[in-house]
Amino acid sequence: MARETFYITTPIYYVNDLPHIGHIYTTVVADTIARYKRMRGFDVRFLTGTDEHGQKMERSARARGVEPKALADEVVRRYHELWRRLEITHDDFIRTTDARHRAGVHAMIARMQAGGDIYKGSYEGWYCSGCEAFFPETQLVNGTCPDQGHPVERLQEESYFFRLSAYQEPLLAFYREHPEFIRPATRYNEVVRFVEGGLKDLSISRATISWGIPWPGDPEHVVYVWLDALTNYISALGFGSGDTELYERYWPAALHLVGKDILRFHCVYWPAFLMSAGLPLPRQVFGHGWWLRDERKMSKSLGNVVRPDALIERFGPDAVRYFLLREMTFGQDASFSDEGFLARYNADLANGLGNAASRVLAMARRYGDGRTPVEACDDSVLRTKAGEIVGRWRETMDAFEFHRALEAVWELLAAVDAYVNEKAPWAIAKAEGVSSPRLQHVLYNCLESLRLAAVMVSPVMPAMSARLLAQLGAAEGGALEWGGLATSRPLGEEGALFPRADVEAYFAEVKVDENKPVQPATPVPAVGGAPAPTPAPAPQAVAAEPIGIDEFARVKLVVGTVKTAERVPKSKKLVRLEVDLGEPALRQIVGGIGDRYQPEQLLGRQIVVVANLKPAVLMGVESRGMLLAASLDGAPFLLAPDGEVPPGTGVK
Ligand code: ME8
């Protein structure tokens, strides 16, 4: 019998910027669900991709002096790289610049036209290129877009329209019949209220921009970017390209996973387009919450966007995946903070999981000759507990309550710990010898519980799960039934799953970053490897509050020559310099530049230093000043005079 299919999608990401943790969140959740559904035997198809057309993209490329496609190619490369590092198991990656996608969009428009829902008219109104959306005057808030507060611009142009107004009643009827279509329930109510408020026809072409899919038969127009983008979910299955096998097999989608910001496009426009085209509607759209940074909205202009690269590099992909799923109640907002991340990392991963595993494995090695116990054990409180936890884990995973599913696994780990304390295997070994059946049973119960925990966390932490299973001498992909651990098998290699994070070192380095001048809007890498021309900084990034020249003059900037340089022990980034500032003695300055500069490269080099900064101690080393560097995506580029000057020369 054919297996039940499960087609899951992420939004396709705009390529005018690099991904941050909000973007990776959606993809990590989708990957976790895809892995879980595969475990449960579904025939899964998992799609992600990029949204490359539109006014925003055209402008970003123009500002950088490159072609939109070239800019997109470079950012897409970064997305592929990131998904590889995060072990994302998508089956396909669609780009809206793919030929197959254009064919799908044209086929979609042909069907909507055949349904009589498209007509030509003239559009006059407000357009927000940040959201790529039209807004009636009545919806503007203080002259800005009501969704994100972006600036809007007046548009007056000829346009093709979609008769969205005709779909108000059919949509409301559909929502009533399919209350599970929009999740969570609070979002269902929001969408219903929005549609009940009345729908206006939608402009679905643009005549004043050229970066888009040409309108079929009218090349003066390009297709409106949201009609273009939403169609990716079927064009990626071959809709419009002739080969309909995947489309027949996987459409309608089981789940479109999106952020709450784009719920309306997916719950109102998309089903209306599909109704018009006479195509089946997706089964569910889930609108998840928003990641904030330290309780504030993340935005490039505030310079507080959390990029995933450094976190993945330092803590590994599994720790990042775990944090995202454990910290956010799926559907609600959550806040990222360095403190929160480190606390969870140390408490749950290094201590909770890591300690439970290393404690049990050390005993198994000591009392079992490096092998799993000689006999399985079927009769224990742990078995009952594990059975209950597996049931709860399944229920919560099915309901997408990932934080609760993970909580359940940690409850099992705590039960193992309590069981070890109570049974005291060391005492049994002493009293009865290592071949005591009682001792072997106790060990089996612990190892088998850990095996079940490893299988349960595998959708969230695939690499860690594989590693733990190998340490336990267990096979990957084992069943979630008690007794899966084979007896008398060699245990795998030892090794900590998650080394404890040194919080002090982390903050010393983060602090160094924060001491740097406020970063301008994140630059997109240039095409062809050359450094990107830095885009004009967003206004807030330059100065939230203007300062006077006298205030600026209080900062004493001087040129110095580096005389000695060495790495600060145990730190990846920090370098200790002794700098000649034209003073009687050399100045010791600690800078977070070690990930881009080797100490020997710095010798003799001239740098710019803030000479009157209060001393600070970074990882136990006093720094009496701060060096200046441009910060590109977190990487430092040292500033220097354009020609050698005597040490101590002032900078104005
Ligand atoms: O909207 N917290 O693309 P996009 C949580 N191209 N999730 C966040 C987030 C945050 N702070 N910021 C972004 C688009 N996201 C369109 C989609 S689909 C046919 C077209 C996530 O790159 C969230 O899922 O601006 C959001 O919907 C998605 O990134 C896409 O953002």
Q: For the segment 327-374, what is each residue's pLDDT rounded down to a tens digit? A: 999 889 999 999 999 999 999 999 999 999 999 999 999 998 889 988
Quick one: CA torsion of 388, 391, 392, 397, rounded to 10 degrees? Answer: 160
Q: Are 471 and 492 in contact, with CB atoms under 8 Å apart?
A: yes
CA 137 to chain centre: 35
**d(CA 589, ligand 1 centre) in Å:** 41
pLDDT tens profile 108-126: 999 999 999 999 999 888 8
**d(CA 20, ligand 1 centre) in Å:** 10
pLDDT tens profile 548-559: 677 788 889 999
Report the pLDDT value the prediction gives residue 385, as an integer from 0 to 100.
97
- Residue 532 pLDDT > 50, yes or no? no
**d(CA 303, ligand 1 centre) in Å:** 18
- Residue 231 pLDDT > 90, yes or no? yes
Report the pLDDT value the prediction gives residue 545, as an integer from 0 to 100.
57
- Residue 295 pLDDT > 90, yes or no? no
**d(CA 258, ligand 1 centre) in Å:** 7
Q: Whose CA is nearest to atom 7 of ligand 1?
A: 22
Atom of ligand 1 lying closest to residue 230 CA: 19
Judge if the beta carbon of residue 229 lies within 6 A of ligand 1: yes
Judge if the beta carbon of residue 199 lies within 6 A of ligand 1: no
Judge if the beta carbon of residue 13 lies within 6 A of ligand 1: yes
- Residue 538 pLDDT > 80, yes or no? no
Residue 543 has a CB neighbour count (10 Å cut-off) of: 10
pLDDT tens profile 203-213: 999 998 899 99
| Residue, of 461 and 592, whose pLDDT is higher | 461
> pLDDT band for position 3 (50/70/90)?
very high
CB within 8 A of 206, min separation 6: which ones?
Answer: 55, 157, 159, 212, 221, 222, 224
Judge if the beta carbon of residue 96 lies within 6 A of ligand 1: no
Q: Are 605 and 645 in contact, with CB atoms under 8 Å apart?
A: no
Q: Whose CA is nearest to atom 9 of ligand 1?
A: 22
Atom of ligand 1 lying closest to residue 50 CA: 6
* Backbone φ, ψ for residue 296 (5° rounding): -115, 155
Global pTM? 0.80
User: Which amino acid does the sequence have at 34?
Assistant: A
Report the pLDDT value the prediction gives residue 551, as an integer from 0 to 100.
74
Which stretch of 201-210, 248-257, 264-273 has the lowest confidence by average pLDDT? 201-210
Atom of ligand 1 lying closest to residue 233 CA: 19
pLDDT tens profile 417-446: 999 999 999 999 999 998 899 999 999 999
Report the pLDDT value the prediction gives residue 525, as an integer from 0 to 100.
33
Q: Are 452 and 480 in contact, with CB atoms under 8 Å apart?
A: yes
Give me the mean pLDDT over the 286-309 stretch.
Answer: 86
The burial of 553, by beta-carbon neighbours within 10 Å (0-12 exposed, 13-18 middle, 19 or more buried), is given as exposed
Q: Whose CA is nearest to atom 19 of ligand 1?
A: 230
Report the pLDDT value the prediction gives residue 542, as an integer from 0 to 100.
32
**d(CA 11, ligand 1 centre) in Å:** 7
pLDDT tens profile 366-407: 998 889 988 888 778 999 999 999 999 999 999 999 999 999
The tokens for 39 are: 């475990």
Judge if the beta carbon of residue 19 lies within 6 A of ligand 1: no
- Residue 516 pLDDT > 60, yes or no? no
Atom of ligand 1 lying closest to residue 229 CA: 19
* Backbone φ, ψ for residue 446 (5° rounding): -70, -45
Judge if the beta carbon of residue 286 lies within 6 A of ligand 1: no
Give me the mean pLDDT over the 151-180 stretch.
Answer: 95
**d(CA 23, ligand 1 centre) in Å:** 6
Give me the mean pLDDT over the 563-586 stretch.
Answer: 88
Judge if the beta carbon of residue 266 lies within 6 A of ligand 1: no
- Residue 103 pLDDT > 80, yes or no? yes
Report the pLDDT value the prediction gives residue 546, as an integer from 0 to 100.
64
> pLDDT band for position 72 (50/70/90)?
very high
Quick one: CA torsion of 238, 240, 244, 249, rounded to 10 degrees? Answer: 60
Mean pLDDT of the chain, nearest integer? 89
Judge if the beta carbon of residue 26 lies within 6 A of ligand 1: yes
Atom of ligand 1 lying closest to residue 298 CA: 11
Which stretch of 242-256, 289-303, 484-498 has the lowest confidence by average pLDDT? 289-303
**d(CA 25, ligand 1 centre) in Å:** 10
Judge if the beta carbon of residue 401 lies within 6 A of ligand 1: no
Report the pLDDT value the prediction gives residue 456, as an integer from 0 to 100.
98
Q: Which domains does the chain have, with CATH numbers?
A: 5-288 (3.40.50.620), 335-538 (1.10.730.10), 549-638 (2.40.50.140)
User: Which amino acid does the sequence have at 185?
Assistant: A
Report the pLDDT value the prediction gives residue 141, as an integer from 0 to 100.
86
**d(CA 398, ligand 1 centre) in Å:** 24
Which stretch of 127-141, 154-168, 233-247 has the lowest confidence by average pLDDT? 127-141
From 583, 534, 544, select the one nearest 561 (Cα to Cα).
583
Report the pLDDT value the prediction gives residue 633, as an integer from 0 to 100.
62
Judge if the beta carbon of residue 291 lies within 6 A of ligand 1: yes
Judge if the beta carbon of residue 132 lies within 6 A of ligand 1: no
Q: Whose CA is nearest to atom 18 of ligand 1?
A: 11
Judge if the beta carbon of residue 259 lies within 6 A of ligand 1: yes
Judge if the beta carbon of residue 93 lies within 6 A of ligand 1: no
Give me the mean pLDDT over the 607-620 stretch.
Answer: 84
Give me the mean pLDDT over the 95-102 stretch.
Answer: 98
From 28, 31, 15, select the one nearest 77 (Cα to Cα).
15
Report the pLDDT value the prediction gives residue 541, as an integer from 0 to 100.
33
- Residue 496 pLDDT > 60, yes or no? yes
Report the pLDDT value the prediction gives residue 301, as an integer from 0 to 100.
67
Report the pLDDT value the prediction gives residue 540, as an integer from 0 to 100.
31
pLDDT over 70 for what percent of the chain?
Answer: 93
Report the pLDDT value the prediction gives residue 165, as an integer from 0 to 100.
97
Ranked by mean pLDDT, which of 165-179, 290-304, 560-574 comes out on top? 165-179
**Cis ω for the linkage preceding 317 (within 30 of 0):** no
pLDDT over 90 for what percent of the chain?
Answer: 65
CA distance 13 to 23: 8
Judge if the beta carbon of residue 14 lies within 6 A of ligand 1: yes
